[in-house]
Amino acid sequence: MADGIIYLDIDDEITSAAARIRATGGQRLAVVLPYGSRVATSRINFRLLARDALAHEKRLSIVAGEAATRALAASAGLPVFTSVAEYESAIAAEVASSEPDGDAAPGGASAGAAMVGTAAGAAALATTRDDPASVPETAASVPPGDAGSGPAVQAGAETSEAVAPTVIPPDLVTSTRDDATAYAPVARVADGVGPSVAPVPPAARRRIDRTPVIVGAALLALAVVVGGVAAFLVLPSATAVVTPREESIGPVALRISASTEVDQPDVEAGIVPAEVIEVDVEAQDTFPATGVRVEETAATGTVRFVNLDPTSSNSIAKGAEVSTSAGIRFRTDAKVTVPAAELVFDPDAGKFTVEPATETVKVTAVDAGPDGNVAANAITVTPRGEGPLFLKVSNPDPTTGGARQEFLRVTQEDVDAALAALQGQLDAAFADRLDDADLAGGEATVFPETAELGAATANVDPETLVGTEADTFDLGASATGTVTAVDAAPVRLIAEARLEATVDPGHQLVQGSSEITESPAVVDGDTITYPVVATARQVAILDPIELEAQILGKPVDEARDTLGAYGDVLLEVWPDWVATIPSLDARVEVTVEGPTTQTPTGAPSDAAP
């Protein structure tokens, strides 16, 4: 029986497999690999397992149902089996051949059976090494025509149903009995419980004489296979892992422009889309009227003229001016004639006296307004050209009716001032809208330097307001402005694409190595540009087959220097005293920890995604 069987999961790595091998007790171990196992992706994995098992004095076998897996394991010098039952059968046969058995038939049939089990395992190893697509089954079965049904066979079947007995063909059976019913033990049950026998037909007995020759040939073949396997295992080998060095790219200075004439980023031209946003603003206010319309009324009254000249009458024309001593003038409303004064003799006084003649006429103040309202007897200055000695004038009653009224009205200056005030309000409202974070929506940035507000439009015709009599008037205006907004997200994408275009031939960009430094946007009139500095790292794409060809047969130090030109190198040879890389490419394995140009047969690509 096997000391230990290790079952690996499909995702188990080589490190966990090696750790479980070291941790498992016993010398005989079998590792069972499922279909698609990650361990089975490279021949070097099996070499590492074989070397680790050998270093810990363990005999390691590989059990795999996949032919490609068995081929890789066999190329690494490991025994391979198709199933656990086959592996256990081979181990049981090997154990049986090494233990004395008192029930064995004459001629050493049990030993022969053990050899068959051992030879089958060796043959499997040799076959898979030469032809990975065909792995022989270890357990042989008795031909239907020759199989026996004796008690021993049935007992063996009841003892171990899961394992088929390994049976030597009838040619190899040695027996001293001649009767047709003779039986010879030909195999040992795989689990070692007891012998099983099969009848030897007459045809087999006729070939008994050739048995020693056939057994000798089988032993010779087994020795050749074992010798070949031993030679394969002791041949020197070399493994190398090359990690390409990363190289810096840049810094690459770029100036990416924003344009309203494109709707998609243009990598070649270095242009990102820009958007012109329309902004509507309006203002409304009440303004005072400063114009005045004055309405004045002239004072009126009556004056009385007194003529002291007894020799003639005195006619005063219409419009004749009389005035107060302060200069407030009045005009007569009509022509008036004052009769001559009368000369009258006073007998008592013994002399003549003059009796003045009088006449009244209405007058109107020359200057309208309340100043024409004068007190009685205030008008004393006679018209120009009249003699003051013979003509007198006065107003018996005060003059009245003189007044002044003022009415506010809208002037052109008032309208112009109102429009200017509204323009200032529109400018302020436009600036407030530009500061609104939601103006552009999304991730776009608004550039106030590109803003422009159009002409204001009044809500009524300003000319209709001029001359309107009112204390105040209402006026409103609206305007539409524009501003440029840019979503800067494509700037980084363009910079990365332009950076990737600078990668050297035969290299590729290291994923995640790009560093994009964006400076604040520069606005020059209607032009918006983004200064960008981009850096990254690149790595060479290597061909592991070409690298392997370059070091075959070279001294180890020279091979290490050769591979060192491509990156960091981990080079190991086995045995460690070997000073030269083997010339046989089957004994050399070069892998690249990075992007590669080729994918090894039967293994997943090592190229970086």
Is 175 within a domain?
A: yes
Q: Is residue 430 part of a domain?
A: no
66 belongs to a structural domain = yes
Joined together, the tokens standing for residue 285 give: 């206010």
Cα–Cα nearest to 319, from 359, 371, 364, 358: 364
> In angstroms, rounded to a whole number, what is the distance separating the alpha carbons of residues 1 and 266?
71
214 plus 357 within the same structural domain: no
DSSP E strands: which ranges in 1-53?
4-7, 28-33
Residue 190: band (very low, low, confident or very high) from pLDDT cuts 50, 70, 90: very low
| Dihedral sign for Cα atoms in the order 260, 265, 271, 272 | positive
Predicted pLDDT of residue 126 = 36
Question: Has residue 488 been placed in a domain?
Answer: no
Q: Determine the average pLDDT of the residues in 374-382.
A: 95
In this predicted model, what pLDDT tens digit does every residue of 516-540 receive, in sequence order?
Answer: 998 999 998 889 999 999 999 999 9
Check residue 596 and report its DSSP letter.
B
**For residue 446, is it within any domain?**
no
Does residue 235 register a pLDDT over 90? no
CA distance 144 to 147: 5
Burial of 70 (0-12, 13-18, 19+ CB in 10 A): buried
Percentage of residues in the chain having pLDDT higher than 90: 48
Dist CA 53 CA 60 (whole Å): 6
Range in 90-94, 108-112, 246-250 the model is least confident about: 108-112
Same domain, 133 and 242: no
Residues 368 and 398 in one domain: yes
> Is residue 206 domain-shared with residue 343, that is, in the same domain?
no
Which pLDDT band holds residue 457 (cuts at 50, 70, 90)? very high
Position 534, amino acid = A
Cα-Cα-Cα-Cα dihedral of 165, 171, 175, 179, to 10°? Answer: 100
- Residue 319: band (very low, low, confident or very high) from pLDDT cuts 50, 70, 90: very high
Residues 319 and 241 in one domain: no
62-66, 227-231, 390-394: range with lowest mean pLDDT: 227-231
Residues 131, 13, single domain; the answer is: yes
Q: Are 330 and 399 in contact (CB under 8 A)?
A: yes
Residue 442 main-chain phi, psi, to 5 deg: 65, -140
**pLDDT recorded at residue 315:** 93
CATH number of the domain within which 385 lies: 2.40.30
First to last CA, the chain: 46
Give which of 526, 464, 532, 528 is closest to 495, Cα–Cα.
Answer: 532
With respect to residue 251, please indicate whether it lies within any of the assigned structural domains: no
Residue 150, domain extent? 4-233
Among 180, 208, 233, where does a domain finish? Answer: 233
CB 98 within 8 A of CB 113: no
Within-domain flag for 346:
yes
Write the CB contacts of 461 (distance below 8 Å, at least 6 apart in sequence): none
- Is there a single domain that holds both residue 199 and residue 306? no
- Band (pLDDT 50/70/90 cuts) for residue 56 is confident
Q: Write the pLDDT tens digit of every residue in 530-585.
A: 999 999 999 999 999 999 999 999 999 999 999 999 999 999 999 888 899 999 98
Both 172 and 38 in one domain: the answer is: yes
pLDDT per residue as tens digits for the range 320-352? 999 999 999 999 999 999 999 998 888 888 888
User: What's residue 547's pLDDT?
Assistant: 94
Same domain for 51 and 108, yes or no, is: yes
Residues composing the chain: 609
602 part of a folded domain: no
Pick the most confident of 32-36, 139-143, 157-161, 163-167.
Answer: 32-36
- The whole-number pLDDT of residue 91 equals 87
DSSP 78: -
- Is there a single domain that holds both residue 215 and residue 327? no
Is residue 166 pLDDT above 90, yes or no? no
- Verify that 204 and 96 share a domain, yes or no: yes
Q: What is the mean pLDDT of the chain?
A: 79
Is pLDDT above 50 for 186? no
Per-residue pLDDT, 241: 96
Q: Is the pLDDT of residue 99 over 80?
A: no
| Among candidate residues 407, 441, 458, the one where a domain is terminated | 407
Q: What is the pLDDT of residues 408-455, one digit of tens each?
A: 999 999 999 999 999 999 999 999 998 888 888 777 899 999 999 999
Pick the range with the lowest mean pLDDT from 96-110, 168-182, 427-441, 569-583. 168-182
Task: Please give the pLDDT value at position 182.
Answer: 34
Instruction: Please state the domain count of the chain.
Output: 3
**357/201: higher pLDDT:** 357
Under DSSP, is residue 445 helix (H, G, I), strand (E, B) or coil? Answer: strand
The mean per-residue pLDDT over the stretch 64-88 comes to 91
DSSP strand E in 168-264: where?
183-188, 195-199, 237-244, 246-259
Give the pLDDT confidence of 1-35 residue by residue, as tens digits: 446 899 999 989 888 888 888 888 888 899 999 99
Percent of the chain scoring above 70 in pLDDT: 76
Same domain, 330 and 311: yes
Where among 233, 257, 282 does a domain terminate? 233
